[in-house]
A = this chain, B = another copy of it.
Amino acid sequence: MCKQHNKNLYLRPMNKIDSFVADGFTQYLPGQSIDCVIIGYNEHGLNVLTLNWKEFDMWALPGGFIHNKEDMDQAAIRILKERTGLELAFLKQFYTFGNYNRRDFEEFLKQFEPKELKFQPFINWMKQRFISTGYLALVDMKKCNPTPDFLTESCDWKPINNLPKLLFDHQHIIEKALEQIRIQINYLPIGLSLLPEKFTMKDLQKLYESILQKELDRGNFQKKILKLGFLDRLEKQLSGRAHKAPYLYKFNETKYDYLLKKGIGFIS
């Protein structure tokens, strides 16, 4: 993974934090935040993009705030771009987290142990109650350029089945995102940004199994998926041993987009 390092927060020039805090109280909406669950898929399964606040031995979801005159969706797109370099990815609001106790700020403060007065404005900003809207992005890990923000030291993919301890309610936010994907998999096509251009039926089944966290019957899976019609089967190469290889498929983007809008209905 591409990993960038900033200096230790205490040693970092305060001007970026200062200007963020000044911005915070004048340029952002109070009490509103965005958390992005950015999910990629590779041979090890599903991965989620996390930022490391090394000072706190704490990992967090990429997130941010909403400018006074910025649409919330635009803020999410901006944050996704800042952290991954990606502009065109599947990005969708999935849930808004509004529990009073969702952020244990006292716990956060304990880890932070700020001794210097200069951190006070930052703490004042952070200790507000925030209602956070979760956005979900499914991305091609190979096209991402994980980039830490000015508060964090590194930005890394972490396997979803083996996550480090996460800040605030970020573990819950990821679980809610996965719950949404598991529901959506039943009425929306999935895989376009997660799989390579050409893939086998087994590759697609493994993706579904990673999401659903259970094994699926091969014959049944193939039958159901093919019936939906969003896959094109490619002709096998006639030369060499290719005829013994499994069929390759690619997504039929027209049909895929159609089902993405219309939904795969049992009734409609």
Interface residues of A (CB under 8 A from B): 29-32, 66, 68-73, 75, 93, 95-96, 98-100, 129, 131, 133, 182-183, 185-187, 208, 212, 214, 216, 221, 224-225, 228, 263-268
Assuming the contacts A32-B32, A72-B131, A131-B29, asked whether A186 and B187 have C-beta atoms less than 8 A apart, the reply is: yes
Q: How far is the CA of A166 from the CA of B160 in the complex (A)?
A: 44
**Cα distance A73–B100 in the bound complex, in angstroms:** 10
Whole-angstrom distance between the alpha carbons of A71 and B98 in the complex? 6
In the bound complex, do residue A267 and residue B72 qualify as a contact, i.e. CB atoms below 8 Å apart? Answer: no
A72, closest chain B residue (CB)? B98
Task: Tell me the bound Cα distance from A163 to B185 in angstroms.
Answer: 34
A68 to B100, alpha carbons, bound, how many Å? Answer: 8
Copies of this chain: 2
Would you list 12 pairs from A and B whose C-beta atoms are within 8 A, ordered by A residue?
A: A30-B31, A31-B31, A68-B129, A69-B100, A71-B99, A98-B133, A186-B263, A186-B265, A186-B268, A214-B268, A216-B267, A224-B266
| Complex-state Cα separation, A143 to B100, whole angstroms | 31
CB distance from A5 to the nearest CB of B (A): 33
Please name the residue on chain B nearest to A265 by beta carbon: B186
A30-B30, A187-B266 given. 20 additional CB < 8 A pairs?
A29-B31, A29-B129, A30-B31, A31-B31, A32-B32, A32-B98, A72-B131, A93-B95, A96-B96, A98-B133, A131-B133, A185-B265, A186-B186, A186-B187, A186-B266, A186-B268, A212-B267, A225-B267, A264-B266, A266-B266
A183 to chain B, nearest CB (A): 5
Q: How far is the CB of A187 from chain B (nearest CB, A)?
A: 5
A75 nearest CB across to chain B (Å): 8
- A66 near B185 (CB under 8 angstroms)? no
| Residue in B95, B183, B208 whose beta carbon sits within 8 Å of that of A263 in the complex | B183
Contacts of A186 in B (CB 8 A): 186-187, 263-268
